[in-house]
Each structure stands twice: as structure tokens, then as C-alpha cells.
Amino acid sequence: MTFRRGIKGNSCGFQGGWLLALAASCGTAAAADLSNPAILADNSEVLQAWQQSAAGGQAPDLVQQADGGTTIEWHGGVTLDKYVNSSSGGNLLTPTRSGSYYKADVQSDLRGTSAEGDLSYMQLSLTNTNDRSVLSSHPTQINSLLMGRAGKDYQVTLGDVVASYSQLGTSVGLRGVGGQKMFGQSMLSASAGVLAQSWESLANTVQRTQFLRNVYAGKVETPLNDAWRGYVTTQGYSDDRGSLGQGMSLLAPASARATTAGFAYQQGELGVQGEAGVSRWQEEGLQEHKDNALIVDANWRVQSVGLRAGHHKIGRYYSSLSGMAAPGIKETYVAGDWTAAPWVTFTADARHSVNEGALNTVNAQKTDALLAGAFINFGADWPGWGLMLNHSQSKGESGNTGASSKNEGNGASLFYYGQAWSGSLGYTEQKVSSNAAPGANAKTTGWIGTVGRNWSDDSGVAGGTWTLGTNFTASLQEQRLDAGGSTRSTMLGLGVSAQRTGWGSLNASLSDGTTTQTTGGADLRLRSYQVDAVYPFKGQNSLRLYVRNNQNGGGGVITNYSDRTVGLQLVYLY
């Protein structure tokens, strides 16, 4: 559904940001990647920026009006499922419950671009269902609320804001407000809001399991010359102690603030990035901890050789708004790749890491790891053929407990990909040993093979109208414990897919697997099949019939369960 209305260049109703006024009154929001500046010069660049920031949403078609205005477009869609579940086995084995259910997913997308190129947008996505295995706490869930406005040198977002500033500073999704503003070549970014599990948790309509966390973050970035750029970030958070009932969390409410400074250098084939940060972190009623963090990464490529190296040191009590800054981790690595000939490429990665969070535990405190691999292309005489080889090994030690562990793995995979036929055969071997848990020391080997065949009426000159494909998979895995005993798993699978223009598509799969038990009990058996048939209507609308079945048997009554779902899905886009 498209609403077309000419908006004059001097229309104060649109240019004054009526969408943002609506956002202020409704408390809804927008999300965009704040690590990318919104530098928009004309409508085409505005639409390109929209596609990047609107979670892959389709860009509107602009129609220039005679008076200089453009268009406002509204798109959306509804996906409605009606299905019947048949389940047995109890709550511990499967979340599915027998009965008749429905699920509706609704999306709405409203946007418009002014004559000056400024883009305003608003999106809403929600789910409603009576199936508690889909939504356990509430029948309706808001998946996303998006609202914002972007111009040539600014961007404002409200709602599900993605603040991605730096590795040591802020890289988090929050529910609040964010913005960017260009000052010449420099960019100022800022955001503030609340970290909450969902919009329903924020509104307290479902039971919270975590404290609401009030957060703020800011970043200033500027180029220093053609090769260098630098930035500074500041961020902090404070848990709302009154947002969670007593005894609901084992963690005490905490607060922290952090400041970082970083740089990036790129000259030819050499690139270097680095960042340093300091933080203060405190749990309620306990002593404040000051700590720091440092990361440096470099990459260099010359013809057929590429090298990468880096050092990361995150203090045990360092705290920020970035999930990439794991406290207590120190790591140094060297990696590279070498295309020795047109038919072979070698790769390697070696690293040493220390985990201060593993102190006084049997987990590895210090780990040395090596990964190596080779990719071999058999060349023009054997088109489609290739071979992949890999080796991995690691050694971990815990200085406090004396525990140590070793892991070693090897693998090889031969494959072929052709226009009609495809296939692969792979072998893996893994050895695990630990003096902290010698009963788990074991050697595991595995084989996996696939064969595929495709048919089509595509002559290579004109596009085909139908395709048919089959794929067969077989795997075998065996684990032998050093202390005695073994277990073996086998799996067979068959898949069929078909498509014809105007008719739709059909996909079906069938699998059957067994696993023996080290205790010598009855074998576990898992069977499943799935069928999906889609019939297209006008445009992108479609009707889909699906059947899914999973059965687990053997090994005793306690492990037996079954799930079967038969459903019909309607997709309607407007």
C-alpha cells in the first residue's frame, strides 16, 4: 500500500519533523548503527543510508512532484500462522505443548524524503501468539521500534538504538535516543537510554530477571591526516536497584564509568588500530575498583602473503559498555596466510592467552593454541575438485590448582562441486586429556559424506522454469574413553527440493540417527522429517503448508519424547 502526496519544499509540517514529534509524544524509537556517519547529499544517498540503517528494509520509491515535493510511502506485512502441535515427553524434554495455536507477526514501515534530501522513518515489528513455547511470559511482544531522521550532516534515532563506538568503549543495543552530527570532517556521536531485556520488561508488564541499567555514551572522532584518525569515548552505567525485586538476582547492583582513546592508521597495505581505556567499577556497598585496558592490532599484506598480529590486555575489573571487552583477558596472537601457488593456500594462527577470571578454579588460566590449515585446488584439469586440511592444538594450565589440559585435532575434507553433481568426504580426529578430570580423557573420530544431484531445464541461454535437487548425507562418530567404554553415533539424511515458476516450491528432509551408550544400555534413536510447500500469490504474497516431526526413542522412558507440528502460513505484504 503506497500513499503518494506531494510535499512542498517549504512545507513546515514535514520539514519540521512531524515524525519526531510523534516519537516524542508516543515514546517510540529508532535504531541505526551509530558507528557510520550519516553524510547525505541527495535522495539517492539518503535511500542508501536508509537501507544500511533500517535493518535491511526496502527503500521507498521516490516520485518527484511538479511542485518540487516528494512522496511518503507506507509498506508493511502480516505473517499469520495457524498450527496444531502434538507432543509427548514432558516439560523437561520439549517445550512444545499439544493443542491448536496461532502466531501473527506484523511489520509496518513508514518513511518519507523531503525535497532537501532529509529522510524521516518509522518502523514497528511485533508478535502476538497464544503459544507459550514461543512467548512464555506475555502474548504480545514488541520486536522493534524504530524512528528517526537523517540529513546531510546529522542523524537522530530513537528507540532500539545500536551504539557501536569502539571495542573498549561502547558496543551495545539500548532503548533510548542516539544521534550523530558532523562538524566539518569531525563527528560527534552520543546516546543515552536503558538496557532492558525487552520493551515489555522496560514497561514492567513481564517479570524482570535483571536490573534495568541506565546508560550513556559519547564519542568524538576526527581525521588527523590522510593516513591517521583518532577518537575519544566516554560512557557509563548505573543499575536501578528498585527495578528488581529482592532475591531475584545473585548479583548486586553496580555502576561504572569509562574513558577511552583510540587511533587507526592505514597506509597502503599496512593497517594499525589501537585503543586504551581506564574505568571505575563498583558494586553497591563494596569497594570501588580502578582498572585499565589496552588493545593493538596490525595487518599487512604484500602480494601473496598476509600477516596479522595483536595484543589485548583487559584488566580484571575493567568495565565498559562493550561486550568485546571481556574483563580479565590477556591475549597475544600472530596469524597469516600465504598463497604459495595458484592451487594452494596455507593459513596459520598462534596465540597465548591468560584468563584472570579462572583463578582458583580448574579451568585453564594460561592457554597456548595453534591453528593451521591448507586449501588445495586441483586446477583446470580437475575442475570443481578441492581438498581442505586442518590441524589444531592447545595446552592449558592452571597455576593455582596444578590442573592442565591438552587438546589436539586433525581433519581432512575432499570435495567436488559441479553443475549437476556435488559431493564431499571428510574425516576428523580429536584427542582430549586433562589431569583434573581424567575420566573424560578420550579420542573421538568421525566420518561424514555427502552426495548431491541437481536437475534443471536451464539451457544456459535462457533462464529455466524448474529445478529439482536431492542431497544425501551420512555420518559416523565414535568416542573411546581412556578409562574404558565407548559410544558411537550414526546419522543418515535425505533432502529433496523442487521449484517451478508459477507453481511455487517444495522442500522435504528426512533423517534417522542412533547413539549407543557407554553404560551399555539401549541405543538412543532420533528420527525427524520436515515438509515445506509454498504457493506464491500476486507480488510477494504466499501460502505455506508445513509439517515437522521429531521423535526420540530408546534409552529408557526418561529420554523418550515426540513433537509434531502441522501448520498453514499466510504471508501478505502491502
- Domain segments of the chain: what residues? 268-300+312-337
149 pLDDT band (50/70/90 cuts)? Answer: very high
Q: Which pLDDT score, from 0 to 100, does residue 398 have? A: 81
- Whether 10 shows a pLDDT value over 50: the answer reads no
d(CA 87, CA 192): 45
- Whether 36 shows a pLDDT value over 80: the answer reads no
d(CA 169, CA 176): 18
For residues 460 and 175, which has the higher predicted lDDT (pLDDT)? 175
- Whether 25 shows a pLDDT value over 60: the answer reads no
CB within 8 Å of 515: residues ≥ 6 apart: 487, 488, 489, 490, 523, 524, 525, 526
For residues 64 and 459, which has the higher predicted lDDT (pLDDT)? 459
Q: Which pLDDT score, from 0 to 100, does residue 418 have? A: 93
Query: Which burial class, exposed, middle or buried, applies to 342 when counting CB atoms under 10 A from its CB (0-12, 13-18, 19+)?
Result: exposed
DSSP letters for 182-238: EETTEEEEEEEEEE-S-HHHHTTSS--SS-EEEEEEEEEEEE-SSSEEEEEEEEEEE
Asked if 498 and 467 count as a contact pair (C-beta separation under 8 A), the reply is yes
Q: pLDDT tens digits for 378-435?
A: 988 899 999 999 999 999 988 666 788 999 999 999 999 998 999 999 999 999 998 8
- Whether 4 shows a pLDDT value over 90: the answer reads no
Q: Three-class SS of residue 5?
A: coil
1 pLDDT band (50/70/90 cuts)? Answer: very low
DSSP letters for 362-402: SS-SEEEEEEEEEEEE--TTSTTEEEEEEEEEEEEE-TTT-
CB within 8 Å of 100: residues ≥ 6 apart: 82, 83, 84, 85
Q: Which pLDDT score, from 0 to 100, does residue 218 have? A: 98
Q: Match 534495568 to its residue by C-alpha cell.
A: 212
Mean pLDDT, the chain, rounded, equals 86
Q: What is the pTM of this model?
A: 0.80
Q: Which pLDDT score, from 0 to 100, does residue 294 have? A: 98
Q: Which pLDDT score, from 0 to 100, does residue 11 have? A: 33
Lowest mean pLDDT among 244-248, 340-344, 355-359, 464-468: 355-359
556 pLDDT band (50/70/90 cuts)? Answer: low
558 pLDDT band (50/70/90 cuts)? Answer: low
Q: What mean pLDDT comes out for the span 540-553? A: 93
Q: What mean pLDDT comes out for the span 221-249? A: 92
Q: pLDDT tens digits for 169-227?
A: 999 999 999 999 999 999 999 999 999 999 999 998 888 889 999 999 999 999 999 99
Q: Which pLDDT score, from 0 to 100, does residue 402 have? A: 74
Q: pLDDT tens digits for 465-485?
A: 999 999 999 999 999 998 888
Q: Which pLDDT score, from 0 to 100, does residue 359 have? A: 58
Q: pLDDT tens digits for 264-320?
A: 999 999 999 999 999 999 999 999 999 999 999 999 999 999 999 999 999 999 999
d(CA 472, CA 421): 12
8-state DSSP, 242: G
Lowest mean pLDDT among 103-117, 229-243, 272-286: 103-117
- Whether 565 shows a pLDDT value over 60: the answer reads yes
d(CA 88, CA 260): 54
Lowest mean pLDDT among 232-241, 295-304, 497-506, 513-522: 513-522
Asked if 314 and 325 count as a contact pair (C-beta separation under 8 A), the reply is yes
Lowest mean pLDDT among 47-56, 108-117, 328-337, 401-410: 47-56
